[in-house]
Structure 1
Amino acid sequence: MRQAEGRGPLYRLYSSRLRHQISPENVPHHVAMVIDGNRRWARQLGYDSVAHGYRAGAAKIIEFLGWCDELGIKVVTLYLLSNDNLRKRDSAELADLIDIIAGLAGDLADSGDWRVQHAGRAELLPDNLATALRDAEDRTRAHTGLHVNLAVGYGGRHEIVDAVRRIIARHGERGGTLEELAENLTPESIGEHLYTGGQPDPDLVIRTSGEQRLSDFLVWQSAHSEFYFVEALGPDLREVDFLRAIRDYATRDRRFGG
């Protein structure tokens, strides 16, 4: 059963009440999001193409980022297209999704002061998508607002491999020995060479559609993250669902592995 976005006075009252229950000091710095269920949403509504679900999901992403910005969240990472998607999705469906993501990157670059960064392997992507992501990065590089990571052509395990390869390559350029490399290889050095190097790890990972799995998303960075799963399909996500997630996060006792 699809959830409809509330528009009445009771919904607005409840949203306002939730916001007042969230203290600014308890808002996560970095939120990661898997907006899942777009295809299921389109099929439930009887659309002849799941592209309608992807478009609705892209529109929801813009809305979601606005919610994050309003609460003072500084970094958001969005899982949009995995390496597995590139290999396994139907070619026509994948072509639609690629065009939609390229359009989304352009829309984000036009959204005021947000900064866009691609996280993933650009060499795996079609030229038009790689160009759109690079253009969005270039156009927003000097922006100081919400930092938006777009995980496209992304895989968490591949990211770790790429990070280790960068470390090895740079060590080789300096003429270091294998013993020195082994001695200096630390979790911190790997973290610095990830696609999100220099950013704080996500405090909270949210996934829609009721699925409760990571799907190779931020495998390294989410080691100490909190997780929150929402039953609503991606395009049906409401602001109150998001605010509940933040409120729930704020009440947790984060032990960081303890």
Structure 2
Amino acid sequence: MTELKIPNHIAIILDGNGRWAKKQNRPRTFGHKEGAENVIRIARSAKKFGVKTLTLYAFSTENWKRPASEVGFLMDLLIKFVNSKIDELMEEDCKLNFLGDITKLPKKTKEACEFALDKTKDNKSLVINIALNYGGRDELVHSFKEIMKKGYGSDEITEELISDNLYTSGQADPDLLIRPGGELRLSNFLVYQLAYTELYFTEVLWPDFTEDDLREAIVAFTKRDRRYGGL
């Protein structure tokens, strides 16, 4: 058997929660709750495989357009996730990080994020980036604004400078992007960082996505020949 080539950084678009719930004849919120539970399961599996960074697309800048009741549920769900899972994250030595503008979140949700950031800041085994109030194009605008604030001239702007002012500053770009749920698009996720990332799509809905599905994605990644424009 070919030895698995483990991606250092895996990004996942958490898609299919609502459709999963509909299949169970349950409300969409039930799917979101189960999707949140799966975050810990897959994080544990990723750590077991040797992945160092896991980036999860949880709530986009466009998701504010959803019904207010669903948005409110998602904001409360994040608070419950932090409160109920923080001990497990500490046990697994996982560091939580947030990508996106969390200052725009409701006060209690923002406070939960800040608590998680502080509590897990010294953990090292696995970095979990949760993209929250995040959009890839919005992140580029954020990066350019930061560069302008720092007084750089147009002739000083480089790819490295842009990267250094993204929410993922200091992190390697994802090696592998996984999108469960059957959709074949990036949905404004990490548009700058995914330039050379291997893409993997699956019909499996996120709440049903298991360690075996993660292994299957890594097997597919292992078979890819990453040339970065070379021969």
TM range (shorter): over 0.9
CA distance in 1, matches of 2:45, 2:120: 20
Aligned counterpart in structure 2 of residue 100 of structure 1, from 53, 77, 80: 77
Give the alignment's Cα RMSD to 1 decimal. 1.3
Q: CA deviation at 1:123?
A: 2.3
Cα separation, 1, equivalents of 2:173 and 2:85: 22
Counting only pairs closer than 5 Å after superposition, residues 1-258 of structure 1 correspond to structure 2 as: 21-23=2-4, 26-47=5-26, 49-86=27-64, 88-110=65-87, 111=89, 112=91, 113-171=93-151, 181-258=153-230
TM-score (norm 1): 0.85
Q: Tell me the CA shift for residue 108 of structure 1.
A: 4.6
Query: Do the aligned partners of 1:206 and 1:229 also contact (CA within 8 Å) in 2?
Result: yes
- Structure 2 residue identity aligned to 1:94: V
Instruction: Give the aligned length.
Output: 227
Separation in 1, partners of 2:198, 2:139: 21
**Alpha-carbon distance between aligned partners in 1 of 2:69 and 2:37, rounded to the nearest angstrom:** 21
Shift of 1:256: 1.9
User: Quick one: which amino acid aligns to residue 197 of structure 1?
Assistant: S
Structure 1: unaligned runs, 5 residues or longer: 1-19, 172-179
**Runs of 4+ deviating beyond 6 Å:** none
Q: What displacement does 1:105 show? A: 3.2
Q: AA paired with 2:94?
A: W
User: Could you tell me the TM-score, scaled by structure 2's length?
Assistant: 0.94
- Which of these two proteins has the greater Rg computed from alpha carbons? 1
Deviations 1:186-226 (A, max 9, x none): 11100011001000000000010111110000000001100
Please tell me whether the aligned partners of residues 35 and 207 of structure 1 are also in contact (alpha carbons under 8 angstroms).
yes
Q: Distance in 2 between matches of 1:257 and 1:132?
A: 42
Distance 1:123 1:27, change over 3 A: same
Separation (CA, whole Å) in 1 of partners of 2:83 and 2:138: 26
Matched residues in 2 for 1:186 and 1:70: separation? 36
Seq. identity, %: 37
Task: Specify every segment of 5 or more residues in structure 2 that has no aligned partner in the other structure, as ranges.
Answer: none
Q: Residue 192 of structure 1 aligns to which amino acid in structure 2?
A: D
